């Protein structure tokens, strides 16, 4: 299966997951820039830090959309398997199983790296929050 077929098999959920992942990636870039400024100017560090980032929210939403896409795919697969003769139901179910997990797989592929990056950036932000104001961390 090539990437185009993989992407098309996921349906509209793939577009939503991709767009949310792009939003999260842009938010990571902004967060990195803010952290660099905060480390360079410790006096302004606390003012630059935010408690909840748009990137984290977009990442979690993309993961939820992937789960929703997988559930919708499971319902469609179950309905489709019910229309085939009994002797072909197992092969049809196995074929449907390979397709129905695609939105979930795409969501995991997009969000796991973003979650790791957000976790690492959160660690740096925690260091800056705990540092005495006006001194280097």
What are the tens digits of pLDDT across the range 118-131? 888 888 888 777 76
Q: The pTM is what?
A: 0.79
pLDDT band for position 137 (cuts 50, 70, 90): very low
pLDDT-above-90 percentage for the chain:
36
What are the tens digits of pLDDT across the range 56-108? 889 999 999 999 999 998 898 888 888 999 999 999 888 888 888 999 999 99
Q: How far, in Å, are 3, 66, 75, 88, 121 from residue 102 at the CA level?
A: 11, 8, 14, 22, 29
Q: Alpha-carbon distance 102 to 69, whole Å? A: 8
Top pLDDT among 112 and 47 is at 112
Are 80 and 111 spatial neighbours (Cβ–Cβ below 8 Å)? no
Sequential DSSP letters for 7-37 = HHHTTHHHHHHHHHHHHHHHHHHHHHHHHHH
**What is the reported pLDDT for 52?**
64
Length of the chain in terms of residues written: 137
Domain ranges of the chain: 3-68+102-130
Q: Residue 72 is encoded by which pair of tokens?
A: 């919708």
Q: Which residues contact 117 (CB under 8 A, 6 or more apart)?
A: 28
pLDDT-above-70 percentage for the chain:
89
Q: Alpha-carbon distance 1 to 99, whole Å? A: 11
pLDDT over 70 (residue 7): yes
Q: Which of 37, 1, 69, 35 is nearest to 77 (CA)?
A: 69
């Amino acid at each position: 299966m090539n990437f185009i077929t993989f992407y098309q098999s996921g349906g509209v959920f793939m577009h939503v997951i991709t767009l949310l992942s792009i939003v999260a990636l842009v938010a990571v870039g902004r967060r990195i820039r803010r952290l660099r400024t905060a480390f360079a100017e410790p006096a302004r560090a606390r003012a630059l830090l935010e408690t909840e980032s748009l990137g984290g929210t977009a990442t979690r939403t993309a993961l939820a959309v992937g789960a929703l896409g997988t559930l919708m795919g499971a319902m469609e697969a179950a309905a489709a398997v019910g229309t085939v003769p009994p002797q072909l139901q197992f092969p049809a179910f196995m074929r449907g199983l390979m397709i129905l997990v695609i939105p979930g797989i795409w969501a995991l592929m997009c969000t796991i790296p973003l979650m790791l990056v957000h976790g690492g950036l959160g660690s740096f932000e925690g260091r800056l929050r705990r540092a005495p104001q006006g001194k280097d961390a």
